[in-house]
Amino acid sequence: MDAGQGWADRTGLVVLPGGATVRGRRLVDPATPADFALVLAAGPAPAWPHRPIRWPDFWVPVDTADAVDALREARRRAYAGERVEIACRGGVGRTGTALAALAVLDGLPPSRRCPGCAPATIPARWRPRGSGGGCAGCDDRLPRFAHTRLKHPGGSELFRRVVRVWRISPETDRTGTAMTAGNPSELLRDHAEPQRATYVELFFDVIFVFALTRLSNTLFHNLSWVGVLHTVILLAAFWWVWVFTAWTTNRLNPAQPAIQLVIIPIALGTLIMAGAVPGAFGKDGLAFAVTYVVIQIGRAFFVTVALRGREVSIGSLQQLIWACFSGVLWIVGAFTTGPVRVLIWLLAAALGYTMTQLDFRLPRLGPARIATQTVNAEHLAERYQQFMIVAFGEAILASGGQFAAFGFKPDRVIALVLAFAITALLWRIYFYRAGLLLPAVIAASATPAVFARSASYAHLLMAGGIVLSSVGDEIIINHPFAEPNLVWSAVILCGPAVYLAGRARLDYLSFSRVAWSRVIGLLVLVALAPVVAFLPPILIAVVAVVILTIIATSDTVSWRFRPSEPTPPPPGGRYRGL
C-alpha cells in the first residue's frame, strides 16, 4: 500500500505497520478534506463524516469499549482506502494515545522503540526514568506526537498501559475483519457493517400490525371521548415497547441468537397485550399491565447485563429503575376500575415521556447523557420508516376487512377507493423528502441521539393520526351514506389533521422550518369538521382526499422549484425539549 495515497497534504500522516495511513491533527488547524474522522474532544466539528469519542484525559476514554470499536472502524476504513484522521483540541495527548492504540490493533509490538529518543511530549510522570531530551535517530517525517507514542521509550510504556488497561491485542488481518479484545461483546452492533434492519426486527413489526388493528377496531366500537382517551393510553404503551426495542437493536446486534431470544419473547408479549386491548380497561387490565411491565423491565435488565463493565451500562441501569417506577403505576392501576384506572394509567403513560425528557435522571447517578451516545442513523431511520409502513398496513387491513364484509356493492367500492386514497396520500406526504431523507438528517444533526429521540415523538403523533384515520376509513365503508354525524365528521377529518401535526414536526426537525401547506391543511381540516358534519361520510371523505391531494401536490411543486438540504436545528435548538 502506498503510504499517503489519496491525501492532498501529508502533514500529520502516520503509517500503520500494515501500510495504511492515518492523519493526526488539532481540530483548530486547517486541513485538507478527509473521508472520516474520530473526534476526541469538543470543538469545531469537521465538515466530513465523523464519530465523536468522549475522551477527557491523556490515557483512557470514558467508554473504552466504544473507543476500541471506533478505532476498529477507523482502521477498517483506512485499509479500505479512505482518508481517515484522528482529531482533538490538542495539548492533552489524546490523539497520540489513540494512534498508539490503533498501532497496537494493527500489530505493532509494544517493545518497538527508538532507543535514543526522549518522549518530550509525554507528561513527565509517564516518562521512563532517565529519559532525556533530544533525539538524533527519529524519522522527522512523523509528527512529534507520533514520535513519542509510536517509537520512543515513553511510547513503549504507553503501549503496555494500552494493552493492560484497554485489554486489546494486535490484529493480523489487514482488512480489519478480525479483532481481539479482552472480554469482547459480540452482542454489540458493528458500526463498520451495513446498518439495515434484520429479519427478526421485521418479524417483530408484524405483531404491531395486529396491535394497531386491535386499537382502531376497539375505538371504532367505542367511538367517544373516553374511547379516544383509552386508545391514546394504550397506543403510548405499545409505542414505548416498540421504540425501546428499536433503540435496543440499534445498540445490540439482533443477528446474535442471544438478542433474538430477547426480541422474540417481546414479540409474544406484544401479541398478548394486543389480545387484551378490548378488555384492557375491564377484566383484562391485569394481563395487559403485567405483560407490559415484564417486557419493559426484562428488556432493560438484559441490556444492563449485556453492557456490564461499560459506561453506557449505567444509563441502561437508570432506564431499568425508571421502568420499575412506571411498572408500579401500571400494576396498581390494573387493580382499580373505572376512571381511577384511566387516571393512573394516564400518569404511567406520561411517565414514559417524562423519563426520556429527564434523560432518565436519578439522584447520585445524574442523567443518562443520551446526547453523548452513538446511534446508527441508517438503522434507526429505517426502523422509524418501517413502523410507519406498519401503521399504513394497519389502515389498509382495516379498510379491506370492512369492504370484504359487504362485497362489491357500488357504494362500498367507491368508499373503499376513497379510504385507500386517504391512506395513499398520507403515505406520500410522509415519504416525500423528510421521511426519505431521515437517515441523512439524523447523521447531520449535532446530537444524533437527542434528535432521534425527538423524531420518535413525531412518528408517534403520525401513528396516532393513522390509527384515527383508519377508524374513519371503517366509518366510510360501513356507513357511506348514513345520516350526518358530527363525531364521524371529526374522526374522518381529524385523523389526517393529527397526522399532519406530526409530519409538520418532522419537517421542522429535518429542515428547521415547516411547510405552510401542512399548517394550512391542518387548520382547514379541523375547521371543516363541524362545517361538513351535515354531509354523509362518503362526501366528507371526498373533502379529505381533496385537501390531502393539494398538500401532496404542493410538496412536489415546492421541492422541484426550491429543494432543501437537511438542516436540523442547531445544538440547544427547540427540538431538545420536545
What pLDDT was estimated at residue 92? 60
Q: What percent of the chain has pLDDT over 70?
A: 77
**Please, what's the largest Cα pairwise distance for the chain?**
97
CATH architecture of structural domain 13-166: Alpha-Beta Complex (3.90)
Cα distance from N-terminal residue to C-terminal residue, the chain: 49
- Given a cut of 80, is residue 1 above it in pLDDT? no
What pLDDT was estimated at residue 312? 60
Higher per-residue pLDDT: 489 or 363 = 489
Domain ranges within the chain, ordered by starting residue: 13-166, 193-374, 375-578
Q: What is the mean pLDDT of the chain?
A: 79
531-555 burial: b if 16+ Cβ within 10 Å, else e = ebbebbbbebbbbbbebbeebbebb
The three three-digit cell numbers of residue 315, written as one number: 444509563
Residue 87's H or E segment, with its range, is strand 84-88
pLDDT, tens digit (0-9, with 9 covering 90-100), for 170-215: 443 333 333 333 333 567 776 656 678 889 999 999 999 999 999 9
What pLDDT was estimated at residue 311? 57
Assess contact for 303 and 251: CB atoms under 8 A.
yes
What pLDDT was estimated at residue 483? 85
Residue among 149, 148, 181 at smallest CA distance from 165? 181
Instruction: Indicate the DSSP class of residue 434.
Output: I
Higher per-residue pLDDT: 280 or 134 = 280
CA separation for the pair 123, 23 (Å, rounded):
22
Q: Please spell the DSSP secondary structure of 278-336, one letter per residue.
A: TTTTTTTHHHHHHHHHHHHHHHHHHHHHHTTTSTHHHHHHHHHHHHHHHHHHHHHHHTS
pLDDT, tens digit (0-9, with 9 covering 90-100), for 79-113: 888 889 988 876 566 787 788 777 777 765 444 43
pLDDT, tens digit (0-9, with 9 covering 90-100), for 499-544: 999 999 998 888 888 888 899 999 999 999 999 999 999 999 999 9
What pLDDT was estimated at residue 57? 59
Q: How confident is the model at residue 332 (pLDDT cuts 50, 70, 90)?
A: very high
Least confident stretch, 163-172, 327-336, 424-433: 163-172
Q: How far is CA 78 from CA 32, 108, 178, 377, 533, in A?
A: 16, 16, 15, 21, 65
CA separation for the pair 94, 87 (Å, rounded):
9
Q: Which residues pair with 362 in a beta bridge?
A: 366
Calculate mean pLDDT across residues 486-492.
93
Calculate mean pLDDT across residues 549-571.
77
pLDDT, tens digit (0-9, with 9 covering 90-100), for 158-167: 444 444 444 4
Calculate mean pLDDT across residues 552-572.
73
- Given a cut of 80, is residue 574 above it in pLDDT? no
User: Is the overall model pTM greater than 0.85, yes or no?
Assistant: no
What pLDDT was estimated at residue 232? 95
CATH architecture of structural domain 375-578: Up-down Bundle (1.20)
Enumerate residues 6+ apart whose C-beta is below 8 A from 316. Answer: 300, 303, 304, 307
What pLDDT was estimated at residue 186? 66
pLDDT, tens digit (0-9, with 9 covering 90-100), for 261-315: 999 999 999 999 999 999 999 999 999 999 999 999 999 998 888 777 565 667 7
pLDDT, tens digit (0-9, with 9 covering 90-100), for 39-73: 887 667 788 888 888 776 555 566 767 777 888 88
Q: How confident is the model at residue 359 (pLDDT cuts 50, 70, 90)?
A: confident
Instruction: Indicate the DSSP class of residue 188.
Output: B
Calculate mean pLDDT across residues 407-415.
90
Assess contact for 520 and 501: CB atoms under 8 A.
no
What pLDDT was estimated at residue 32? 85
What pLDDT was estimated at residue 367? 78
- Given a cut of 90, is residue 550 above it in pLDDT? yes
Calculate mean pLDDT across residues 401-419.
91
Q: Which residues pair with 23 in a beta bridge?
A: 13, 85
- Given a cut of 80, is residue 565 above it in pLDDT? no
Calculate mean pLDDT across residues 154-160.
43
Q: How confident is the model at residue 116 (pLDDT cuts 50, 70, 90)?
A: very low
What pLDDT was estimated at residue 108? 57
pLDDT, tens digit (0-9, with 9 covering 90-100), for 236-254: 999 999 999 998 898 888 8
Instruction: Indicate the DSSP class of residue 43.
Output: S
